[in-house]
Structure 1
Amino acid sequence: MKNNEDVPDFSNQSSSSMNKASALADTSAGSPKQKFSRKVFLRLITFVSTFGGLLYGYDTGVVNGALPFMSREDQLNLTPFTKGLVASSLLLGAAFGAVLGGRFSDRKGRRKTILSVALIFIAATLGCTFASSVGVMVFWRIVLGLAVGATSVTVPAFLAELAPAESRGKLVTINELMIVTGQLLAYTFNAVLANTMGEMAHVWRYMLVVATLPAVILWLGMIFVPESPRWLASKGRFGQALSVLQKIRKNERAHEELNAIKQTIEEEGKVKKATFKDIKLPHVRRILLIGIGIAMTQQLTGVNSIMYYGTEILKDSGFSTQAALIGNIANGLISVIATFVGIALLDRVGRRPMLFTGLLGTTISLLLIGIFSIALKGSSALPFIILGLTVLFLAFQQGAVSPVTWLMQSEIFPLHLRGLAMGITVFCLFTMNFLVGLLFPVLFNAFGLSSTFFIFVALGIVSILFVKRYVPETKGRSLEEIERSFQKKEKRYFAGKKKVLAKNANI
């Protein structure tokens, strides 16, 4: 990229064209029709781009109901280990997809990245649908994971860069809502297909192929969606950035916001490509470690043991396969309802208290599942109690922990490093997700439900302590303000260190 001296200043554009644009925008800035149009356009962008989240949810949730049918001897004949491999291979791909997607989105743009992964979703979904062996299935699940990882990094960053500060929480967490909606759709289709076509040998293939439809919608929709104004500005394309902002903001605010973005770029010297060398900056390293910690805590709750293996857990507690699949719909439904509640609370309550409360709730829920699994073993009431507790667990997870996780990933990183840093943190998230998905059926088979969940309880306690000690509050602050606050802390730290060194030198 260019040096600071080469940063384009749109004030140098022809005054006639600038005045004309401002005049047109100013005359309609207060128009109710224009205001409605801006809101509708922003919501349309949000809806289309978050189909990436819908695909993420469907592709991770569908395996929950498909596994029992894949495991049949006349199909893929899965063992506990290969079950874990099929379920978790997507997450292995997602870990690398997060890093590659973050880098690609920084270089080529958020929009182009989402367009590209939509095509990968289509191809990989068809590959999984027609898989003839475990090896082929695992390969295509890894490819599918590349798209999931890239989307999970790019979509939240894209939305955060488009959203106004006061409603950023709501808009960015729409992606989380779409993830859980995708999981609910997966559980619903699984239950319907299993109970109507369960005698068909290849019913699981029908469960998988449904995901091609939202992938096509995502690709078609993104053709008409503009690029992120902050990404455009980071590339020196200030005129285009202003044009996008004026479509979703009042004219005066669009200019103010672009000036703030431009100032941040100039202050950072960020008209150079972000590399891993940037992580050497103390304040960036501190932010990155906090981001990794938040990402890890989301997975250490054990949420995906329920999202991927909920059918197996409910079957073990006493439900039949068909009843377990129907019961999973309750898990999907509460996830959607809880996410709505989380979106409503995020910009009112704040990120930090929500994350703390959510982790406390998930840890207690898992503790109760472990205790009741021992105390009521063999009881006819146990399956319903386990189902009720998994619903309670997901209410805390999807209503607090997950929305805050994805939102803060998009908030705390500097503009020029956002794609790279989110790639690193989401890589860690998916790596942990992969390990949970791979090892849970093995641990479940070896030690039982209660002992496995007690491990997650211990990890939950560690996560609570981390949040209390290290996680900052970002509610109601612009992305530029958040970055400057970390830089100020760094300056205070070094100023204090210099005083200590000077004092010691005089002793």
Structure 2
Amino acid sequence: MNIFGLFLVFLTPMLGGFLYGFDIGATSFVLDMLLNPFVISDKTVWWTELSSTQQGLIVSGLSLGALIGSHIIFMYLSEKIGRRMELRLCSIFYIVGSIFNVMSGTIVKDSITLGFFSLFVGRLLYGIGVSFVMHGAPAYLAEMSPHKIRGAVVSAKETVIVGGIVVGYTVGNWVSKNPLNSWTNLYGICGLLAIPMFVLTYYIPRSKRWLIMHGLNKEAYESMKFVYKGDICEGFESLADSVLTGNLCRSNSINKGRHNKPSLFEPQYRKAVIASVGLIFFQQFSGQPSVLSYATVLFKAAGWSGNASVVSSVLMMMTSAVTVLLVERLGRKFLLCTCCIVMMISISALSISFWGWDDTIEAESVGSSQKYVILCSMFLYIAGYQIGFGPINWCIVSEIFPLEIRGKAIALFVEMNYALNFGVQFIIPIIKETLGWGRTFSLFGVILAFAFFFIRTYVPETSGLTLEEIQDILNGEDLNDEEQCESTEETHLLEGVASSSSLFGAAWSLEEMENQIIRTNSGAWKLEEMDNSNKSRR
């Protein structure tokens, strides 16, 4: 294994995830600096009278942009551009979005209309960049990583995002306490760090599986060499066989003579769709968005100061790092079930502690034992989420769909994730106002119980399996089915070669070879070897 090549493959998408997390942490302090400036020497700056609506748009602009970008990817770009191009577009949107954010507090700061518009557009553009990295990074890492460490590599993305949040909180905390600093510095850092990400996209290869599926076998071979050392001919031959055989069998079972594009609603994708929908749904309705949004309030109830956000984010990062080390050893399914149990225990303790809680209750009036229960329960809840739902959900979603539909599937579930995230954050204050904190936490506990049984029943275990082996399990195929599929593929190949008469006569041109590959949709690497053999004999 080429460690340096694997490091570059890992580094580029991880930079995108880090900058996503950094923006989350930094924006909380940006809003605080906009609302509570040290000194405003120039009373004409647009943020001196920031309305509540504008505050909401600034915070939610990133999620809205991510939702828009996810829909664009799902409808138009999921399989038309490669994973590497998605990472490149992500860095471009990061840079352009950061420029608009900085302009809002510098060049157009005197205009109320242009100033806010520039910041909102910048947040939208940055959010579109987030959608590209949330779609492209899991797919790229899953398709490029060796299967023995694939789960750890893909799950590490969540750890890096949380690491970005920690750095964003830390830098934001320092910048906000220095009167000489401006909030635009935080967004400027995002733009500067996106530049090396853009440069790296010209050094890493495109996904080898994506290239094989599109008939670009020579480039796919070089892409595999970027990660593996030594002679990879046998490994590449096996990979090409797996990818093309799987595509051919699924294509034959779907179309039976038709030439329609595969749809997520086809029966053979049902198990993967059910598992993914459930994981995304339970991730959002586990209460995680609301509890973390109110973390400062809940920590203060336990007598903590304003550093709770930094403490909780550090805990998230540490737990995510431990999960990365254990995901291949213990398995995805075991960690997800453990996550549900730990979160149920902690949310039940929070429900009991906050039963009958009134927002007017002062922290000083809360008993010491109740404070410690709240404190420990919050830490346990945060750690439980990072054991499972946080790092593992996207790992599984990126693994269980076959190559020909993976891009569209991830795009759809990224869009679903941000739509549910927006909906949950909107409805939770209403539920809390109606039921109170205690009953709201109880509701989360019931949902987590359903999540536990759903995971046990519908989510497959993917540890230690290649992406192609995962498809065999989901499709219920045995060895005889696989051999029959390979036999069908070889028959198609022989028919195509025999009909061309080019093997023993005039050689195919490169254009004819590519057309034949597209028509047969299989065995591209074998045909390329035959063509090279003909040329060498001549």
TM-score, normalised via structure 1 length: 0.79
Aligned CA RMSD, in angstroms, stands at: 3.2
Deviation at 1:312, TM superposition (A): 5.0
The answer to whether structure 1 residue 282 and structure 2 residue 267 are counterparts is: yes
From 56, 59, 67, give the equivalent of 2:23: 59
Contact 2:69–2:132 under 8 Å retained in 1 = yes
With a CA cutoff of 8 Å and minimum separation of 6, indicate the structure with the bigger relative contact order.
1
Deviation at 1:352, TM superposition (A): 1.1
Percent of aligned pairs sharing the same letter: 24
Q: What is residue 81 of structure 2 aligned with on the other side?
A: 108
Deviation at 1:219, TM superposition (A): 0.9
Within-5 A mapping of 1:73-88: 75=48, 77-79=50-52, 83-88=55-60
Mark the runs of 5 or more structure 1 residues left unpaired by the alignment.
1-34, 491-507
Deviation at 1:142, TM superposition (A): 2.7
Q: Which moved more, 1:268-277 or 1:242-251?
A: 268-277
Q: Which moved more, 1:145-154 or 1:264-273?
A: 264-273
User: Helix, strand or coil: the match of 1:166?
Assistant: coil
The residue identity in structure 1 corresponding to 2:447 is L
Deviation at 1:464, TM superposition (A): 2.3
The answer to whether structure 1 residue 143 and structure 2 residue 125 are counterparts is: yes
Q: What is residue 193 of structure 2 aligned with on the other side?
A: 214
Q: What is residue 527 of structure 2 aligned with on the other side?
A: none
Within-5 A mapping of 1:13-92: 35=1, 38-72=2-36, 75=48, 77-79=50-52, 83-92=55-64
Shift in CA distance, 372/127, structure 1 to aligned 2, threshold 3 Å: farther
Contact 2:338–2:387 under 8 Å retained in 1 = no
Shift in CA distance, 212/363, structure 1 to aligned 2, threshold 3 Å: farther
The residue identity in structure 2 corresponding to 1:248 is V
Deviation at 1:430, TM superposition (A): 1.1
The residue identity in structure 2 corresponding to 1:298 is Q
Deviation at 1:275, TM superposition (A): 7.6
From 473, 477, 482, give the equivalent of 1:485: 473
Deviations 1:273-306 (A, max 9, x none): 9987522321213322321211122222232335
From 142, 155, 168, give the equivalent of 1:160: 142
Shift in CA distance, 392/85, structure 1 to aligned 2, threshold 3 Å: farther
The answer to whether structure 1 residue 205 and structure 2 residue 184 are counterparts is: yes
Shift in CA distance, 60/436, structure 1 to aligned 2, threshold 3 Å: farther
Shift in CA distance, 459/106, structure 1 to aligned 2, threshold 3 Å: same
Deviation at 1:361, TM superposition (A): 1.5
Deviation at 1:71, TM superposition (A): 4.1
User: Helix, strand or coil: the match of 2:79?
Assistant: helix
Contact 2:271–2:458 under 8 Å retained in 1 = no
Contact 1:297–1:463 under 8 Å retained in 2 = yes
The residue identity in structure 1 corresponding to 2:246 is T
Contact 1:46–1:171 under 8 Å retained in 2 = yes
Deviation at 1:228, TM superposition (A): 0.3
The residue identity in structure 1 corresponding to 2:385 is Q
Q: What is residue 491 of structure 2 aligned with on the other side?
A: none
User: Helix, strand or coil: the match of 1:189?
Assistant: helix
Deviation at 1:39, TM superposition (A): 2.0
The residue identity in structure 2 corresponding to 1:246 is K
* Count, aligned residues: 447
Q: Which moved more, 1:68-77 or 1:100-109?
A: 68-77
From 145, 157, 178, give the equivalent of 2:160: 178
The answer to whether structure 1 residue 340 and structure 2 residue 321 are counterparts is: yes
CA distance in 2, matches of 1:414, 1:158: 14
Shift in CA distance, 336/439, structure 1 to aligned 2, threshold 3 Å: same
For the pair shown, which has the larger CA radius of gyration, 1 or 2? 2
CA distance in 1, matches of 2:118, 2:15: 26
Q: Which moved more, 1:395-404 or 1:235-244?
A: 395-404
Q: What is residue 488 of structure 2 aligned with on the other side?
A: none
Deviation at 1:116, TM superposition (A): 1.1
Q: What is residue 221 of structure 2 aligned with on the other side?
A: 242
The residue identity in structure 2 corresponding to 1:288 is V
Contact 1:101–1:154 under 8 Å retained in 2 = no
From 212, 226, 232, give the equivalent of 1:233: 212
Within-5 A mapping of 1:311-330: 311=296, 313-314=298-299, 319=304, 323-324=305-306, 326-330=307-311
Q: Which moved more, 1:358-367 or 1:63-72?
A: 63-72
CA distance in 2, matches of 1:311, 1:276: 48
Deviation at 1:191, TM superposition (A): 2.2
Q: What is residue 398 of structure 1 aligned with on the other side?
A: 386
The residue identity in structure 2 corresponding to 1:209 is G
Deviation at 1:407, TM superposition (A): 0.3
Shift in CA distance, 47/359, structure 1 to aligned 2, threshold 3 Å: same
Deviation at 1:156, TM superposition (A): 0.6
Which of the two has greater helix per residue? 1
The residue identity in structure 1 corresponding to 2:273 is L
Q: Which moved more, 1:361-370 or 1:410-419?
A: 361-370
Q: What is residue 476 of structure 1 aligned with on the other side?
A: 464
Deviation at 1:121, TM superposition (A): 0.9
CA distance in 2, matches of 1:309, 1:122: 31
CA distance in 1, matches of 2:79, 2:280: 20
CA distance in 2, matches of 1:116, 1:418: 19
Shift in CA distance, 211/443, structure 1 to aligned 2, threshold 3 Å: farther
